[in-house]
Amino acid sequence: MLRPRHAFPMLALIATLAASPAMAAVDTAAVVNNYADIVHANYEDALIKAKALQTAVEGLIAQPSKESLEVARQAWLAAREPYGQTEAFRFYGGPIDDAKDVEGRLNSWPLDEAYIDAVKGKPNSGLINNAKAPLNIERLIKLNAKGGEANVSTGYHAIEFLLWGQDFNPKGAGDRSYTDFVDGQGKNADRRRQYLKLVTDQVVADLDYLAGQWKADADNYRSAFLKDKPEANLRKMLTGMAILSSAELAGERMQVALDNQDQEDEHSCFSDNTHRDIVNNALGIRNVLMGEYKRVDGSVVKGPSIKDLVAEKNNALADKLALDFNASVQAAESIQAPFDQEIIGKKDAPGRKRVSATIGALKKQTQTLVEAARALGIKKLSVDLPK
């Protein structure tokens, strides 16, 4: 009895879906243009939240206290939300990762704490405690990743280490005392304050640069980008999504941590915010697919999308894309904090299963994305897979 009752609405639904592509052809150039709008809005949000962090850091420096430190920590966590989503705009040599290496300056990890400040057992280590060395941003930038990518001197994770300190707490994040910033209590407190201010200001400056490069109606990267063939840009968009999804997020940020079961392999290891890094990366990838980005003020940037383009060629594939991408975000959201505890244990430990499931979902979505790229006639995707 139930079957016939369902048959009619189902058919109607299929008919509607099949009819929609014919109604309005999707223009690749419009998809690319909407992408540029989303990239700009996302970097602008990252900038807004970084400026809020800057204000909080200035508050901490002016008056170090338990409260002002906590305000700065909360501001850092809030700043990571939009930034994590921008990572879908990497991996094709755009302003974030061209020869200037702004990405390396902003978001390098893992980080050798002893390169910046004292660590357990080494009270005199780091640039902060080398009182003879001058502290200025030019020097810190030059020192960033000097002698190896972990010699990180700048960016979000340098700030994170200064706000939280090393994480020896299995149940939560690191807990640096605010007294590290108080003269007469923390060793080289003046230099620590100065260092924190320098690197925070640089994050703001770098995000200001990135937002500027994607601003509409200016002589910048965006204007050059939009002059390129829409198909070439489509390839860049897909490359960024696919590499973040597979090699970076599923691979380096999760598989490595799962294999090693080592806290050093988690992205935001001082603040225990890695679970949010993962969710925001997955969201960022989905934003590009759907051509839709929810801004920090709650407004939405929305327009023609890659999914629409795929739907024109193959409706079922477009639906599969949406399903897979939603599944990845959901799987990522199920991972619990702290991530360093989530990865520990036997194969069937619930945390490890949640991380594994997210890796599986990301691989699946990458596979579907590669199929979609083929459907769109893009053959030379660097994450191309054997047929």
Nearest approach in angstroms of CB 100 to another protein is 9
3-state secondary structure of 141: helix
Please say whether the beta carbons of 34 and 291 come within 8 A: yes
Smallest gap, in angstroms, from Cβ of residue 287 to another protein? Answer: 22
Q: Which is nearer to another protein, 206 or 265 (CB)?
A: 265
Q: Provide the sign of the torsion angle of the four alpha carbons 315, 321, 324, 330, taken in this order.
A: negative
Least distance to another protein from the beta carbon of 322, Å?
Answer: 20
**Rounded to the nearest whole angstrom, what is the least distance from the CB of residue 380 to another protein in the complex?**
4
Instruction: Please report, as ranges, the residues that interact with another protein according to CB under 8 A.
Output: 91-93, 97-99, 101, 110, 112, 114, 120, 147-151, 239, 243, 246-247, 250-252, 255-256, 259-260, 262, 264-265, 359, 363, 366-367, 380-386
Nearer to another protein by Cβ, of 207 and 383: the residue is: 383
Q: What is the largest CA-CA distance in the chain?
A: 85
Q: Are 258 and 272 in contact (CB under 8 A)?
A: no
* Residue 215 CB burial class (10 angstroms; 0-12, 13-18, ≥19): middle
Question: What does the alpha-carbon distance between residue 70 and residue 100 come to, in Å, rounded to a whole number?
Answer: 33
Residue 302 — φ and ψ, nearest 5°? -150, 145
> Smallest gap, in angstroms, from Cβ of residue 356 to another protein?
11
In 3-state terms, what secondary structure has residue 47? helix
To another protein, the closest distance from the beta carbon of 94 in angstroms equals 9
Q: Is the peptide bond prior to 338 cis by the omega test (within 30 degrees of 0)?
A: yes
Angle at CA of residue 123, ends 204 and 103, nearest 5°:
25
Tokens linked to 9: 């609405």
31 vs 238, beta carbon nearer another protein: 238
Contact 164, 270 (CB under 8 A): yes
CB 185 within 8 A of CB 179: yes
**C-beta of 86: minimal distance to another protein in Å?**
17
Angle at the Cα of 287 (from 284 to 293), degrees rounded to 5?
105
Of the two residues 134 and 147, which places its CB atom closer to another protein in the complex? Answer: 147
Q: Rounded to the nearest whole angstrom, what is the least distance from the CB of residue 319 to another protein in the complex?
A: 21
Give the nearer residue to another protein in terms of CB position, either 222 or 253.
253
Question: H-type helices in the chain, by residue range?
Answer: 2-23, 28-62, 66-86, 102-107, 137-143, 156-164, 189-213, 221-227, 230-243, 256-260, 274-290, 306-313, 315-334, 339-342, 350-375
The distance of closest approach from Cβ of residue 229 to another protein in the complex, given in angstroms and rounded to an integer, is 15
Minimum distance, C-beta of residue 214 to another protein, in the bound complex (Å): 17
Residue type, 100: K
Q: Which is nearer to another protein, 34 or 166 (CB)?
A: 166
Q: Which is nearer to another protein, 81 or 248 (CB)?
A: 248
DSSP 206-227: HHHHHHHHT-TTSSSHHHHHHH
21 vs 251, which CB is nearer to another protein? 251
Nearer to another protein, 151 or 223 (CB): 151
Distance between CA atoms of residues 293 and 276, nearest Å? 17
The backbone torsions φ and ψ at residue 150, rounded to the nearest 5 degrees and listed phi first, read -90, -10
